[in-house]
Amino acid sequence: MALVDHARIPLTFGPSPVHPLARLSEHLGGAAVWAKREDCNSGLAFGGNKVRKLEYLAAEAVATGCDTLVSVGGVQSNHTRAVAAVAARLGLRCVVVRESWVDWPDSVYDRVGNPQLTRLLGAEARDVRGEFGLDAKESFLQVLTELDLRGGKPYPIPAGASDHPLGGLGFARWAEELVAQERELGVRFDTIVAATGSGSTQAGMVAGFAALGERRRVIGVDITGKPADSRAVVARVARRTAALLGVERALDEDEIVVDERYHAGAYGVPDEETLSAIRLGARTEAMITDPVYEGKSLAALVDLVSTREIPADATVLYVHLGGQPAINAYSAVL
């Protein structure tokens, strides 16, 4: 089955922009660095990579007559904010479970940024205690049961819209989109760097390139502090998505590259390397990155290019997945 055979509700502006990061490249003095900007991909509450994923899940929710989108994430979850935005756009109800995944001391951590936007979008939020993890949370399952008993028809969306039968399709389509943009621009990216959290962004890319008969070096930068879990979910979702797209060959282990050197020890906690990369991206390109996801993946890019682990003659694509609203929750360090 081809990608076009899967139902999708368009929620983005179209292809996300691709552009060179000329000043950052000059500063690093190595590979030519470009960016593909998922943070600019949609008009839905600051967009981001989760919107691209939700295009396929939303289509299934509407087709099956569901009336409420239900999902789970951390307090500063970009994903739950995106689910709330998609629900508002489609006229559906929304309930999000926000667990206390991050022990961060900033006094406004649980009130600004993504929680603030989620309230503004009209979603119902349930704040509960809980540790970071991508498994089916008890608090999430309780909401689904409650809505069922009320006679509603909830549509369950796992953390990050990732470990779901359709979770990898959004970024499989991204791979197809990128190849078309490369033809238009006359460039080919030999290395792609992106943050890896819940896994389906990187997994979708890998499966999407495989469906096109290509192999690319996709470096997923673990931001969770649990890289073995990240690698496992990326491999699982990539293989499931590849099968869904009719890829006949098996995906090789070396296609699943998860770099565990830049997660700063835990999900949602930045170190000085993360903060330094955030400042560098802002001061060379006016490109704003957050301390949870993009600051860590940008720190990886900066180090990999500076040390020539990505060769100086390479053309590298940094994939900006969004997440800027979370910056407000880290005002003590930014």
Instruction: Point out the residues that are catalytic.
Output: 77
Comparing C-alpha atoms, which of 5, 69, 15 is closest to residue 40? 15
Fill in the DSSP letter of residue 255.
G
What are the two backbone dihedrals, phi and then psi, of residue 258, each rounded to the nearest 5 degrees?
-120, 115
Which amino acid, residue 2? A
Contact 324, 113 (CB under 8 A): no
> Which structure tokens are listed for 96?
């999000």
Identify the bridge partners of residue 195 per DSSP, sorted by sequence position: 221
Which amino acid, residue 325? P
Contact 25, 19 (CB under 8 A): no
What are the two backbone dihedrals, phi and then psi, of residue 164, each rounded to the nearest 5 degrees?
-140, 145
> Which structure tokens are listed for 294?
């993009």
Strands (DSSP E) contained in 68-164 are 68-74, 93-99, 124-128, 154-157
Residue with token string 């979910």: 233
> Sign (positive/negative) of CA torsion 113, 53, 221, 306?
negative
Q: Which residues of 107-143 are buried (b: 16+ CB within 10 A; e: fewer)?
A: eebbebbbbbbbeebebeebeeebebebeebeebeeb
